[in-house]
Structure formats: structure tokens, C-alpha cells
């Protein structure tokens, strides 16, 4: 046991005796290299190594400045930097990385695990979001099995971190596993770490969205879904309550406010935090500068994506496959549709007025019927090159609309009608079609004796036969009996688009209506897929339209039989595409009619408008969002605009190098105590000196970005793209005590804000000056960066500097936990209050007895009001202090709200909700003694390694009846309170009665169902009896519930209980209800049962005389609830074999 005493500042010339034993032990165990013995030797090594990134003639100058920065623990780089710089080893200097969510396949998971191992083996911390993995029991195609779910797979990652890396001798970094709050396995994840051995070696956090927090506050329903499929719907507060209960019980999970972090992110214009790779299917149409192409034609090659008529270059790899995933089909009332993953952001209308539209990015799974989504407006796109001519397009449009495709030729028909008395025809406009078609035909190869149109006598019909048109149609995928707009016909030039649409509307289109009722152009077809293709082609030309299905339903109709009579014929359903509003003028300009009658009707309608036609807003109303199977899906990068046209919809580009995909960060902290100045008995904080050293730290870390080794090339590229660093502080609690400021008080909050405001402003000013010298980070785009919320809150002189010179680093600030480095420096960790002033610390470096110089004063009854430790601080004060730092921090704050054992679940709820309302990005909670093994202990709870045998025996003897040697059962009072609950599961009704102990916890259960004497009734009697005995023998209710929930047998189904809408069996319902009613975490039986409450056992072998050398401890087994027995320095369970020694 090492005793920690007060910190001693030291520089290179200080005597070795100036360091405390704890400083030397930690330094020599973790950071010393070669023959290094004292910290100042490492400062010299690190300063020299980091200065090597400077120009040659300035390296000595900067080596001295960096040494001055480090000397006396003034600035303490992250442990990775201390260990890596100047070592010549291959370890990383970056503290943390985040790898992409694994692809939902065995190979994808193993690939992610390999990256996880590689990062940790190089000493880096690593995190991953497992939400991309399918839920437990979901079918896995190809293996005739089901998935074990993300929690099970996470255990593999945790095992590698906790056991393999440590055993391999590497310095393991921290490990974090996250899961989104809508994942169907969220309940399993929340409670995972309540069980010994599960996810050991990792911290876990739940990613909470703003939508979820809103649902919690409104007590609304919350869908548990994966890739767009809803698996279950529960109350959001049920999830919230279980998060808080789990944190109270086992200190995890923490919570991460995902949407807030994304909105506040400095890099939000080019990346999304904790992304899970949203994607589209391979058949989606994308508008490019070379014309429309389907996604599967753009895989592996760069292209220019056209968005709202403007061209944007993509990444070098174009589209790339990201996996095989469940997809949704989003369909609109207007007819536009798209298949995509549930997490793919779509531009949704947030607010629409007569003059403007405000829109927002929303995941497809969150879109609901009635929402308006944004379409691309390509009116600024004048034309695009590509295959085939306008003439070829016109002929093909006529063929699709009113022609016949034969084996040897294509035949077009024109119906002029009969001659009329003035010498004209009944349909004079058709001559315009005939003239345009013949002119187009003569541009194709044709015979020298080609005669053009030939009249069919007596029918008012003219025909044009073209072998070349048949060849053209065949080359585009048309065949006899299969006419339509094929993919090859869509992937064509803008001229071909205009020609094909003109031919199609000449054949089957019409101009209808009046200004009073509305003028429209209509295209009638029985093939709705043809109309959908025509709609896409029109939109590329800047013309929006609507498809109305089933304008005429399928059925029979009386039609001419070709023999002079009529007969009944089956007819297909008729659909109609309608163009209206100001799209009419665009159609007239870009497509038009060759039919002179239709053209004249359109021009006359437009000319007689007394006001401007309704302006097209390029939005569509969502009709449905439905599961659409599982497909290969694809990703693309479109830097800058981060969007593309997918089937006409305005969607976010999905391959945006999100932080969470190989993002890295290096850390360092200013020791605030080094800037305290005492003059004339008055102590103050020297803000001028603090500000003077901040630019040195920024330059120091920027050099480390270039000098560091990286475990993966993707990590190196990501870090060099944004040059992220995280400067924070340590020893805040020490400084507050020196200034006589109570932690959490208004004065302390104001001081904390001043510290972090100074750190923010001077860091950003230094990075601007570095950009003048070295250039901005590669992903920097001034106008976009300046619009980020955090950057908009900077002082104007800094914003102007960014505007003129750029900025070297995308992020500069992070408040790290500084556990071991703060011990090395001799101050309290990060921005935490003191856990206690005389406590024990146990970690990988050893066990320490930590005694502060404030310990004696703290023990006095009349101690000053400002002398407080964690147990004296309210949840609100914890949050308000963290919020003061968060306001001036561009990344997250690492802070754990250490709470006394007396804290309640309500305290956790209050703390977490306040954290959300105060603008925090994340928060963690730890209640004293909520884990059997922890880092910090009060000395009155653990001294020199733990509980002695004598203490356990004395406690057991005081609590147990003499001579007791069997299981310990708690007796119920003779007269007791009870609760009766009526329930229904499917068609089965029943009653449940719960008898209570005096403290209100459940002690017995009776279950009566209507079918007395039935198998179900007998089963329920047995379950009730076993449950009653289990509760009386100390088995925690939550343990029973965890084993018996989700049991599946009939009867099952709806329950009528809104908190448990569906039950998979009566037993499932019973234990879910018990959990909700009695707050299972709080309803656990006492681990030490008072002697007066010990019931006489009816066991036949109670006094069997076995284990004569064992003594009953009175402590309940954490595994099975039976009593533990003390023998030979260990407590063991005779039932399940659980053992704990020491």
C-alpha cells in the first residue's frame, strides 16, 4: 500500500527527493523508458521528440519551450504521448479511436474485431457502435439459424480487451461499446453489466436521440426497430427508467446525447458522428453530369453528381458496397419512390410558407405518411451529353406509345381520321406528328426506295415501317410484346430524353382543362412502370408531375370487334401522369408537342392565364414507408454538398467518413494548480500565465499529429484530414479549495466558465496563427465551418481570423478523465470533486492510500462550508459544473457524477434529465459501492485490501440464529399486506395476488387462472409456489424476471395493459408486471437477513452435520441467492459453486 502525499513541483534541476513515492512509482511503472528514473528526464525526451517536427533551425528553440510547458507538471500530455514520443516504438500517441459499426455479417464482425485488436495492441483506446448488428433471434440467411444479437457479439470485443490484450503485455487503452436507443436489444444492453463477467473491460453507453428525449418527457410510445422494421413498441419512459435503474445499480450504462453531439459538431458539414452507413439499393437512379445512371453502374468509378442542377465531384471510388441490409421503400403520393436503409437521411420539409421552404435531414425510418420530402430541381441544368439523338428518342417514344414492334421491323401508326368537306382531316394535328416522324426517320439508315408514310385505305390510318427503328429498339432492350422505357433508354442524353417524351405525349398525351378548373397535360397508360420512368425523365428536365393510379379500374369494356360490330374485351387498369402549374411552360419549352393541335391548345392555355401559374415547390408528400426486404446496398462520398439525386429525391450522401469511422484524438491537460499565485497571503489564479502557455500546447499537439504512429491507415488519414486534438484541465477541485470556493456553488461555476472560456479562446487563436504558418486542416471550408454552432459562438475577432486565414485544427478541446496522469501530477482528477480526502485507490498500477492535506480539516465538525467532497454534492451541482465546462468545449466532457451510496434511482433520473436540459453531450454516474470491485473506496468501507475473516464471522454471528446450518429463509408476517391484480393474456383471464413483507417488497405470489384443473392452471400454481420460495430465500426479483421473461407458450397475445401490450406467455406477463410494480432493482432481497426474520427451515437435511468446518456468513450468493459459507478465508456457495476469497 503506497501513501500519497502532497504534490511537489519540480523542474529539471530539482532534486530527485522532490518527487513523492506515488509519482515515482507511477512514472517508473507506466511512462519511464530505458534508464529514465525521474519525470523531468521524460519531459526532456518528449520535448525534444515533439520539437523534431519543427524546421531544423528552430528545433532547439521549441524543444526548450516545450520543456518549459511540461516542467513541474504544468501541462501533462496524455499517457500515450508520454510513452510514445521519442521511444522509437510502434505504439500510437493518440489516446482514442472509433472504428466503423461492423457490417452485419460474420466477416464484417471479424473485420471490425481485427481493427479493434490492432488499435488496442498499439495502446490506443477504441470505441464502436454495435447498432448495425441485427437483433437477437433474428433469422440469419444461409445458415438456417438465428442471430445472437449485438450484446453477445460485444462480449467478444470485451473479452479481447480485458483478457487477451492485457495478457499480451500491452498497455491497454479504454474501450467503449455503444448502442442506439431504438435497437430492439436495448433492454439486454442496458442491463448487461449487472451480471459479473459480462462486458468486463469495456464501458457501455446508450446513444439517445432528441426524439427519444422528447418521447420521455411526453410519456409517448417508442418503437424498437432495426433497419426500418419495428419489432416492438414500448413507452419511452420504460427505457429511460431502466437506464436509470441500471446506472444506480451497476454504474452503467452512461448516456450519450447523439443528436446534440452531431448538431454541435465542428465537422458536421462533412461528417456525422457515430454513423452506421446509411445506403441505397443498386437500382436507384442517380443524376450525373454524363446523364442518369443506376447505382450499380457507378460502382468503383468517380463521377460528378448533379444536385439541383449543379455538378459535384464524388470520391475516387464512386459508389461502393457496404453490405446486405434490410431496406425500406419510401413511396410518395406523387409517384416518386426510393428503396434505402432506414438510417439514410432524406431532406424533409420542416416549414413551408408561400415564399420559402425550410428543410432538415431526417432518417428514412423516421419519415411518416404526410411528411413532405424535397425533390431535386434541375431547371438550371441546361443539357447533358450521352447516347442517342433527339430524333431517335422521338421515334422510340412514338413506338412505345402507339407503335408495333415486330420481328423484322417497327411500325408506327398515325390516325388522321376521315377527310372532311373542306379537304382536311378530322385530326389535322396528326400531320405534325407525321412530318416530325418522317424527318426523324430519314436520319436513320434506310433503303433508297423508302417512301415514308403509307395510307391504309378506308381506315384513316397511316403507317411508317422502319427496320432501323426495330434495331434501335432492340439495342435499348425493347422486344416484341415488351415495349417500355428500359434502363438503357433512361441512361441517355438530354436530347434523347426530350425526343422520347415528345413522341410519347404526341401518341398518348393530351392537354385538358381551363384556367378556372386548372390546365394540365396528361399521359394515360396501363403500364404504371412506364409512367414512373417517364416521371423520372421529366424531373431531370425540371418538370415535376404526379401519377394517379387506377383512374380506370381493370375490368371489361365493350369495344369494336373489327368486323363492324362490338364485343366485350378485358381491359387493364388505366393510370395517368399529370403535369400542371408552372411545369406547363417548362414542358412547352423543353419537350413540347409535334402534334400541332395539342401544341396550339397548350400555347393558347398559357397565353390566356391572367396570373402566373402556381410555382412548383419541388416537394412530394410521403404516402408510405414500408419494409422492402433485404438487398445489397451501396455508399458514395460527395464532398462539400454531401447529397445526391436518388430517383429524383434529395438524399444525403451516405459515405461521409463519419467520426466513428477511424476518427482519432490525442489528449493533454493543463494542471490548474500550477497557475495559482500567492501574494501577501492571498491566493489567486494567474489567467495571464495560463493564456501564455495555451499556444505552446496547441503547437505541441499539432506536431504530435504528424509524428504519431497509427494502427490503421484509415486512422492516419482521418486524423490528418481534421487534425483533432483535445486539450483540457486537471486539478479543478484543488484550485477551488485553494480559492475557498465550494464545488457546485455559483462562484465555482463562474470560475469554471472563466477557465474554459480562456482555454477555448486562446486555443482557437493559436490554431488560427498556426494555419497562417502551416495551412488549414484539409477538410476546412471557411463558409461551412463558420456556420457550425460552436464556431458561431466564438468571439468575433477569432471568427474573422478563421475567415481570413483558416484554422489548423478542426477540434481543439476535450475534457479527459486524467485518472493516472493526475495521480502522476499529484492533483485531483479532471474537473471532478474530491471523492474523499482520505481514501483508497485500486487500479492496474497498484493500491494506494490517498491522504489530502485537507483531510484533518474535513474531519472537524465546524469545517468551512466550501470544504466538500463528492458525498456532499447534489446531482444538480454535478451537472451544473459539467455544463459550465461544456459551454466552452467543442467536444465531449468526461465526468463521472460520484454519488453516495444513499442516492436513489430518482436522484439518477433527476441528474440525467438535468444533464439533457443543460446541454451536455454525455454523462456518467457512479454510486458508491454499486459494484463489488471499484477504483475508489472510502477508508471506512475498505482498508488494506478488503474484509477480514474475523469481521465477517463477527457480523455473521450477530445476525444469524445460533446453530443455523441450512438455507436461510425470510419469514412473512402472520398478518400482511397484499396486492391483487387482474390480467388477461390473449383469451385467458386470471388474477395474481402478491403478499408483501413489512418493508413492502414481494414475498409470495399466487396465480389463479379461470381454467381450474387444466395444465395451465397447474403450471401457474407451480410457478407461483417456486417464485414465493425463491423470494423468501433471497433470490432478487430482477434475477427471477431476467430468467423467466420472454418464455413462449400459449396462451399469448395482447394483454390490454398499455405498459405490457403483448405477452409471449402468462409467465412472461407475470414477471414483467412484477418488475414494473416493484422496481425490480430496488426490490432485491437484503443480502444480510436479520436474525429475527429467519424462518425455520423445513429441509430434511438441515442438521445433517455436513461441512463442519464451514460457518454460515449470512451473505446471500449473488448468483443464486443461497447463503454463502465461510471457510479457509473464502466465502463459497454450496448450491452453484460461487466463490469469493479475501
2, 14, 15 from 10: Cα distances, Å: 21, 5, 8
- Beta-carbon count within 10 A of 30 CB: 16
131-145 b/e (C-beta count within 10 Å ≥ 16 → b): bbbbbbebeeeeeee
Cα of 218 vs its chain's centroid, Å: 22
- Say which CATH architecture domain 390-558+568-617 belongs to: Roll (3.10)
- Lookup: cell for 536: 423520372
Q: How far apart are CA 319 and CA 887, in angstroms?
A: 39
For residue 954, give every residue at least 6 positions away whose Cβ sits within 8 Å of its Cβ, in sequence order, or none. none
**Cα–Cα separations (whole angstroms), residue 52 to 49, 55, 84, 696, 768:** 5, 8, 14, 15, 22
Amino acid 941: pLDDT = 47
| CB-based contacts of 268, cutoff 8 Å, min separation 6 | 262, 788
| pTM for the whole structure | 0.54
Say how far apart CA 749 and CA 881 lie, in whole Å.
6
pLDDT of 1099-1122, one tens digit each?
A: 333 333 333 334 444 455 656 556
What DSSP assignment string belongs to 1036-1068? -HHHHHHHHTT---SS-EEEEETTEEEESSHHH
Output the pLDDT for position 632: 85
553 CB neighbour count, 10 Å cutoff = 10
Check: CATH 3.40.1190.20 for 280-377+621-652? no
pLDDT at residue 744, as a whole number: 93
CB–CB of 1040/1002 below 8 Å?
A: no
- Going by the DSSP 8-state scheme, the letter that residue 988 receives in this structure is E
Question: pLDDT digit string (tens) for 168-212?
Answer: 334 455 788 999 999 999 999 999 988 777 888 788 999 998 888
Count of H helices and E strands in the chain?
Answer: 34, 54
Helix (H) or strand (E) holding 792: helix 789-792
- The architecture that CATH gives domain 2-87+662-856 is Alpha-Beta Barrel (3.20)
Partners of residue 153 on adjacent β-strands: none
**What is the grid cell recorded at 388?**
442517342
Beta bridge partners of 1053: 1063
User: Which residues does 288 contact at the CB level (< 8 Å), separation at least 6?
Assistant: 298, 303, 304, 305, 306, 384
Cis ω for the linkage preceding 1051 (within 30 of 0): yes
30 secondary structure, DSSP code: I
DSSP H helical ranges for 793-903: 796-805, 819-825, 855-858, 875-886
Task: With a cut of 50, list the residues of the chain below it in pLDDT.
Answer: 1-15, 166-171, 274-277, 420-423, 654-660, 941-966, 1080-1114, 1142
Phi and psi of 849, rounded to 5°? -100, 115
Q: Are 889 and 925 in contact (CB under 8 A)?
A: no
Helix (H, G, I), strand (E, B) or coil at 635: strand
**Cα gap 1034→967, rounded to integer Å:** 10
Instruction: Give the C-alpha separation, 267 to 274, whole Å.
Output: 13
- CA angle (163 as vertex; 160, 164 as ends), nearest 5: 60
pLDDT at residue 932, rounded to an integer? 54
Give 57's contacts (C-beta < 8 A, 6+ positions apart).
none
In angstroms, the CA 1006 to CA 1008 distance is 7
Residue 310 · residue 380 · CB < 8 Å: yes
Length of the chain: 1142
Sheet holding 978-985, edge to edge: 978-985, 988-996, 1002-1009
CA atoms within 13 Å, Cβ hemisphere of 573: 10
DSSP string, 572-594: --EEEEEE-TTHHHHHHHHT--S
Can you give the pLDDT at residue 753?
96
Closest CA to 171 of 134, 119, 218: 119
C-alpha span between 781 and 42 (Å, rounded): 39
Amino acid at each position: 500500500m503506497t501513501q500519497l502525499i502532497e504534490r511537489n513541483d519540480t523542474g529539471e534541476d530539482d532534486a530527485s527527493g522532490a518527487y513523492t513515492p506515488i509519482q515515482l512509482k507511477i512514472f517508473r511503472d507506466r511512462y519511464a523508458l530505458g534508464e529514465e528514473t525521474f519525470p523531468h528526464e521524460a519531459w526532456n525526451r518528449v520535448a525534444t521528440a515533439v520539437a523534431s517536427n519543427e524546421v531544423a533551425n528552430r528545433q532547439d528553440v521549441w524543444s526548450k519551450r516545450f520543456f518549459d510547458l511540461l516542467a513541474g507538471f504544468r501541462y501533462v500530455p496524455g499517457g500515450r504521448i508520454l510513452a510514445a514520443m521519442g521511444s522509437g516504438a510502434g505504439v500510437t500517441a493518440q489516446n482514442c479511436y472509433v472504428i466503423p459499426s461492423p457490417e452485419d455479417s460474420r466477416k464484417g464482425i471479424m473485420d471490425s474485431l481485427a481493427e479493434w485488436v490492432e488499435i488496442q495492441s498499439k495502446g490506443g483506446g477504441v470505441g464502436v457502435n454495435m447498432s448495425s448488428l441485427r437483433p437477437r433471434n433474428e433469422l440469419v440467411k444461409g445458415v438456417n439459424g438465428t442471430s445472437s444479437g449485438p450484446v453477445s457479439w460485444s462480449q467478444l470485443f470485451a473479452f479481447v480487451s480485458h483478457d487477451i490484450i492485457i495478457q499480451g503485455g500491452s498497455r491497454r487503452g479504454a474501450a467503449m461499446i455503444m448502442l442506439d436507443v431504438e435497437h430492439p436489444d436495448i433492454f439486454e444492453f442496458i442491463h448487461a453489466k449487472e451480471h459479473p463477467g459480462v462486458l468486463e473491460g469495456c464501458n457501455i453507453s446508450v446513444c439517445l436521440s432528441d426524439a427519444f428525449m422528447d418521447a420521455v418527457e411526453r410519456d409517448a410510445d417508442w418503437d424498437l426497430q432495426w433497419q426500418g422494421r419495428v419489432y416492438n413498441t414500448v413507452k419511452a419512459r420504460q427505457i429511460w427508467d431502466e437506464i436509470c435503474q441500471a446506472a444506480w445499480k451497476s454504474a452503467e450504462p452512461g448516456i450519450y446525447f447523439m443528436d446534440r453531439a452531431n448538431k454541435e459538431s465542428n465537422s458536421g458539414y462533412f461528417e456525422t458522428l457515430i454513423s452506421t452507413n446509411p445506403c441505397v439499393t443498386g437500382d436507384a437512379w442517380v443524376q450525373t453530369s454524363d446523364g442518369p445512371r443506376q447505382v450499380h453502374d457507378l460502382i468503383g468509378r468517380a463521377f460528378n453528381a448533379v444536385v439541383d442542377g449543379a455538378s459535384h465531384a464524388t470520391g475516387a471510388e464512386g459508389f461502393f458496397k457496404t453490405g446486405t441490409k434490410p431496406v425500406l421503400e419510401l413511396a410518395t403520393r406523387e409517384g416518386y419512390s426510393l428503396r434505402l436503409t432506414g438510417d439514410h437521411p432524406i431532406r424533409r420539409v420542416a416549414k413551408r410558407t408561400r415564399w420559402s421552404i425550410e428543410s432538415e435531414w431526417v432518417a428514412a425510418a423516421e419519415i411518416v405518411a404526410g411528411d413532405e420530402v424535397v425533390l431535386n430541381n434541375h431547371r438550371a441544368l441546361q443539357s447533358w451529353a450521352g447516347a442517342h439523338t433527339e430524333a431517335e428518342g422521338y421515334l422510340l417514344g412514338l413506338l412505345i406509345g402507339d407503335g408495333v414492334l415486330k420481328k423484322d421491323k417497327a411500325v408506327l401508326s398515325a390516325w388522321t381520321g376521315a377527310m372532311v368537306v373542306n379537304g382536311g382531316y378530322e385530326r389535322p394535328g396528326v400531320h405534325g406528328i407525321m412530318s416530325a416522324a418522317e424527318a426523324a426517320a430519314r436520319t436513320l439508315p434506310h433503303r433508297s426506295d423508302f417512301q415514308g408514310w403509307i395510307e391504309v385505305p378506308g381506315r384513316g390510318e397511316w403507317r411508317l415501317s422502319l427496320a432501323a427503328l426495330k434495331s434501335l429498339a432492340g439495342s435499348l432492350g425493347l422486344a416484341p410484346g415488351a415495349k417500355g422505357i428500359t434502363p438503357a433508354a433512361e441512361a441517355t442524353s438530354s436530347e434523347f430524353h426530350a425526343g422520347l417524351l415528345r413522341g410519347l405525349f404526341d401518341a398518348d398525351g393530351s392537354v385538358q382543362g381551363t384556367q378556372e378548373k386548372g390546365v394540365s397535360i396528361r399521359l394515360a397508360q396501363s403500364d404504371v412502370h412506364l409512367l414512373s420512368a417517364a416521371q423520372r425523365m421529366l424531373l431531370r428536365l425540371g418538370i415535376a408531375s404526379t401519377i394517379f393510379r387506377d383512374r380506370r379500374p381493370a375490368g371489361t369494356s365493350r369495344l369494336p370487334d373489327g368486323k363492324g360490330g362490338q364485343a366485350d374485351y378485358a381491359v387493364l387498369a388505366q393510370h395517368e401522369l399529370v403535369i400542371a402549374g408552372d411545369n406547363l411552360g417548362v414542358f412547352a419549352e423543353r419537350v413540347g408537342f409535334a402534334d400541332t393541335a395539342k401544341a396550339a391548345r397548350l400555347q393558347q392555355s398559357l397565353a390566356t392565364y391572367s396570373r402566373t401559374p402556381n410555382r412548383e415547390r419541388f416537394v412530394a408528400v410521403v404516402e408510405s414507408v414500408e419494409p422492402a426486404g433485404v438487398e445489397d446496398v451501396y455508399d458514395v462520398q460527395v464532398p462539400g454538398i454531401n447529397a445526391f439525386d436518388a430517383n429524383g429525391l434529395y438524399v444525403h450522401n451516405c459515405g461521409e467518413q463519419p467520426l466513428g469511422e477511424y476518427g482519432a484524438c490525442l489528449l493533454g491537460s493543463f494542471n490548474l494548480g500550477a497557475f495559482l499565485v500567492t501574494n501577501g497571503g492571498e491566493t489567486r489564479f494567474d489567467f495571464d500565465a495560463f493564456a501564455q502557455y495555451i499556444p505552446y500546447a496547441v503547437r505541441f499537439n499539432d506536431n504530435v499529429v504528424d509524428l504519431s504512429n497509427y494502427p490503421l491507415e484509415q486512422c492516419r488519414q482521418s486524423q490528418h484530414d481534421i487534425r483533432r486534438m483535445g486539450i483540457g484541465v486537471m486539478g479543478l477541485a484543488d484550485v477551488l479549495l485553494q480559492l475557498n470556493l465550494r464545488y457546485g456553488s455559483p462562484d465555482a461555476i463562474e470560475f469554471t466558465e472563466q477557465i474554459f472560456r480562456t482555454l477555448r479562446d486562446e486555443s482557437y487563436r493559436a490554431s488560427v496563427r498556426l494555419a497562417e504558418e502551416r495551412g488549414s486542416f484539409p477538410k476546412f471550408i471557411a463558409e461551412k465551418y463558420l456556420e457550425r454552432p460552436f464556431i458561431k459562438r466564438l468571439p468575433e475577432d477569432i471568427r474573422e481570423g478563421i475567415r481570413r486565414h483558416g484554422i489548423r485544427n478542426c477540434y481543439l478541446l476535450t475534457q479527459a478523465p486524467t485518472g493516472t496522469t493526475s495521480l502522476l501530477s499529484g492533483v485531483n482528477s479532471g474537473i471532478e470533486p474530491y471523492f474523499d480526502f482520505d481514501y483508497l485507490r485500486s487500479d492496474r498500477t497498484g493500491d494506494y492510500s490517498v491522504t489530502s492535506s485537507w483531510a484533518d480539516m474535513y474531519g472537524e465538525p465546524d469545517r468551512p462550508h466550501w470544504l466538500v467532497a463528492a458525498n456532499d454534492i447534489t446531482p444538480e451541482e454535478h451537472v451544473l459544473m459539467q455544463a459550465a465546462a461544456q459551454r466552452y468545449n467543442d467536444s465531449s466532457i468526461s465526468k463521472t457524477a460520484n454519488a453516495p451510496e444513499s442516492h436513489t434511482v430518482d436522484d439518477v433520473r433527476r441528474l440525467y434529465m438535468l444533464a439533457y436540459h443543460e446541454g451536455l453531450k454525455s454523462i456518467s454516474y457512479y454510486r458508491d459501492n454499486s459494484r463489488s470491485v471499484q477504483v475508489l473506496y472510502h477508508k471506512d468501507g475498505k482498508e488494506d485490501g478488503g474484509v477480514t475473516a474475523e469481521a465477517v464471522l463477527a457480523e455473521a454471528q450477530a445476525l444469524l440464529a445460533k446453530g443455523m446450518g441450512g438455507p436461510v429463509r425470510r419469514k412473512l408476517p402472520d398478518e400482511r399486506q397484499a396486492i391483487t391484480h387482474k390480467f388477461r393474456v390473449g383469451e385467458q383471464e386470471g388474477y395474481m395476488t402478491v403478499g408483501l413483507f413489512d418493508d413492502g417488497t414481494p414475498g409470495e405470489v399466487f396465480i389463479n387462472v379461470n381454467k381450474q384443473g387444466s395444465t395451465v392452471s397447474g403450471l401457474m400454481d407451480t410457478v407461483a409456489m417456486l417464485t414465493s420460495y425463491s423470494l423468501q430465500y433471497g433470490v432478487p426479483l430482477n434475477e427471477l424476471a431476467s430468467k423467466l421473461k420472454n418464455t413462449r407458450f400459449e396462451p399469448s397475445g395482447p394483454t390490454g395493459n398499455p405498459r405490457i401490450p403483448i405477452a409471449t406467455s402468462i409467465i412472461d406477463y407475470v414477471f414483467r408486471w412484477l418488475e414494473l410494480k416493484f422496481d425490480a432493482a430496488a426490490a432485491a432481497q437484503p443480502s444480510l437477513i436479520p436474525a429475527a426474520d429467519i424462518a425455520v427451515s423445513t429441509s430434511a437435511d438441515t442438521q445433517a452435520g455436513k461441512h463442519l468446518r464451514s460457518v454460515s456468513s449470512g451473505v446471500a450468493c449473488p448468483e443464486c441467492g443461497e447463503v454463502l459459507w465461510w471457510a479457509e478465508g473464502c466465502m463459497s456457495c454450496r448450491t452453484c459453486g460461487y466463490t469469493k476469497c479475501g
